[in-house]
Copies of this chain bind each other. A is one copy, B any other.
Amino acid sequence: MSRHDENVPGLSRRRFLGAASSLAVAAGVIGSGGVAAAERLAKPRALSAVEPFYGVHQGGIVTVQQTHSLFAAFDLEATQRADVIALLKRWTVAANRMSRGETAQPLAVPKDAAPLDGGSAEGLRASRLTVTFGFGPGLFMSDGKDRYGLASRRPEALVDLPKFNGDQLVAEKCGGDLSIQVCADDPQVAFHALRELLALADGVALIKWMQSGFTSPPAGGGTTRNLMGFKDGTNNPSTRDGQMMDQVVWVGDEGGWMKAGSYVVVRRIRIALEHWDRTERGFQEEVVGRDKASGAPLGKAHESDPLDLGAQDKEGNPVIPDNAHARLSAAAENDGAQILRRAYSYNDGVGFYAERWPPWRQGMMLDAGLFFVAYQRDPRSGFIKINKKLATQDIMNQFTTHVGSAIFACPPGAREGSFIGAGLFEGLAG
């Protein structure tokens, strides 16, 4: 029944198709009057908006942010390292194919076999699909066991995240041995990709949690707004600045097999939107440290103006409050620490909440907020350093609750012919 068994008899493409396209095959064209349809489907989807999968770095990190994202974490079930490697190889091939707008697998199947691609993205464009893989602490050591003989290769920087002040983490939205983030400009393309990768993991890794998200770029360009209605990401380091990315995002020589990779920290941050929406605009701006309409730092006129952390008003109070989010997360307040944020808003419907205060937090509330995603060269001097301060001092915590959390080492990009994470396994016995 497995859809990724390379030895299923009769799956040779030639045997069924001759010269017809593999796309048409995987879509299940053969038989039952499907000849005309096969011709129509034989043209691959438009590839105009393709993000290359192979390269020095993985895609989906400094890639111009797509509108839709799915982040999935997996528990490894395999007992053998070889099974993990085989999965990474299958994932690599499929991710590359799908990033080009192709089906996950190239093989034809007869009518009496399950299709090797479910076909739910048939006819859709590549949509700048990126697939970003990550390795969680559990790949190296799980419940004190070195399941795959990889413990000695665990990067120092892949620390377990500490418990932060105020964390209200829910186990079923945390952690994972492996991660996949799929981003695309089309939600159906993104879901198709994740689902096909999921099927390829059958028997090796089980999905643990999944989080969808969206972000909508303004019509005229510029910074996107989050669900708080504020521009979000103004102070992000520029992905067009290669030197900056080398400094902030990409692991350098210190990283061994992780060189040219990056570490991702994700946090599912529920925002009490009902509470926020009842809050005075002036207070909202003090919480954020910026003007709501323009995004300018308080006391400044333009979004791109630098924060003036020393500015005082006539009474000698700081113009940007001491506990404002923008101040506390600024590099200048964190010994220069920076991270590359690549967050998505999420909306998971409604759930029942019963909290004592404020009074309207009794009953059905939106389960919506920010799926925070941050890449960095070293989480110890990146997210962890910054969030230790935010978790204790940020006045925004009055409106936000961290309910999900995970950290993954995202290896460098794969070279064509190789596979994601190959460097991790180099030189290991057996």
Q: Give A residues with C-beta under 8 Å from B.
A: 1, 3, 24, 27-29, 31-38, 40-41, 45-46, 67-68, 70, 109-115, 118-125, 186-189, 191, 195, 198-199, 202, 206-212, 214-216, 218-220, 222, 225-230, 273-274, 276-282, 284-285, 291-296, 298-302, 345, 347-350, 360, 363-364, 366, 368
CB pair B32 A112 closer than 8 Å:
no
A78 to chain B, nearest CB (A): 15
User: What are the 10 closest A-B residue pairs judged by CB atoms, nearest first?
Assistant: A119-B229, A37-B294, A111-B282, A123-B218, A188-B216, A29-B293, A28-B292, A187-B214, A210-B349, A27-B293
A215 to chain B, nearest CB (A): 7
For A115, the chain B residues whose CB sits under 8 A away are 229, 277, 281, 284, 292
- Closest B residue, CB atoms, query A125: B219
A38 to B301, CA, bound (A): 11
CB pair A225 B186 closer than 8 Å:
no
For A109, the chain B residues whose CB sits under 8 A away are 281
One of B3, B207, B279 near A114 (C-beta < 8 A): B279
With contact pairs A225-B123, A227-B120 given, residues A34 and B216 touching in the complex (Cβ less than 8 Å): no
For A274, the chain B residues whose CB sits under 8 A away are 199
For A350, the chain B residues whose CB sits under 8 A away are 207-210
A67 to B191, CA, bound (A): 14
A355 to chain B, nearest CB (A): 16
For A3, the chain B residues whose CB sits under 8 A away are 277-278
One of B112, B210, B301 near A33 (C-beta < 8 A): B301
One of B112, B122, B226, B300 near A229 (C-beta < 8 A): B122
For A300, the chain B residues whose CB sits under 8 A away are 33
A177 to chain B, nearest CB (A): 13
A219 to B122, CA, bound (A): 10
Interface of A is mostly: loop
CB pair A278 B114 closer than 8 Å:
yes
- Closest B residue, CB atoms, query A191: B347
For A211, the chain B residues whose CB sits under 8 A away are 349
One of B113, B187, B295 near A280 (C-beta < 8 A): B113
A250 to chain B, nearest CB (A): 30
A33 to B1, CA, bound (A): 65
For A113, the chain B residues whose CB sits under 8 A away are 280-281
Q: By CB atoms of chain B within 10 A, which of A41, A225, A281, A345 has the most? A: A281
A115 to B280, CA, bound (A): 7
CB pair B291 A118 closer than 8 Å:
no
- Closest B residue, CB atoms, query A25: B293
CB pair B114 A299 closer than 8 Å:
no
A112 to B187, CA, bound (A): 39
One of B27, B34, B46, B282 near A112 (C-beta < 8 A): B282
One of B36, B226, B292, B349 near A294 (C-beta < 8 A): B36
CB pair A280 B37 closer than 8 Å:
no
A94 to chain B, nearest CB (A): 14
For A118, the chain B residues whose CB sits under 8 A away are 227-229, 273, 276-277
* 24 interchain pairs, CB-CB under 8 A: A3-B277, A28-B281, A28-B285, A28-B293, A32-B285, A32-B291, A34-B293, A34-B294, A70-B347, A111-B282, A111-B285, A114-B278, A114-B279, A118-B276, A119-B230, A119-B293, A122-B229, A124-B218, A195-B227, A199-B277, A207-B366, A208-B364, A209-B350, A211-B349
CB pair B219 A301 closer than 8 Å:
no
CB pair B226 A120 closer than 8 Å:
yes
A37 to B112, CA, bound (A): 63
For A292, the chain B residues whose CB sits under 8 A away are 27-29, 115, 119
CB pair B119 A366 closer than 8 Å:
no
CB pair A364 B120 closer than 8 Å:
no
CB pair B215 A45 closer than 8 Å:
no
A111 to B298, CA, bound (A): 13
Q: By CB atoms of chain B within 10 A, which of A228, A349, A363 has the most? A: A349
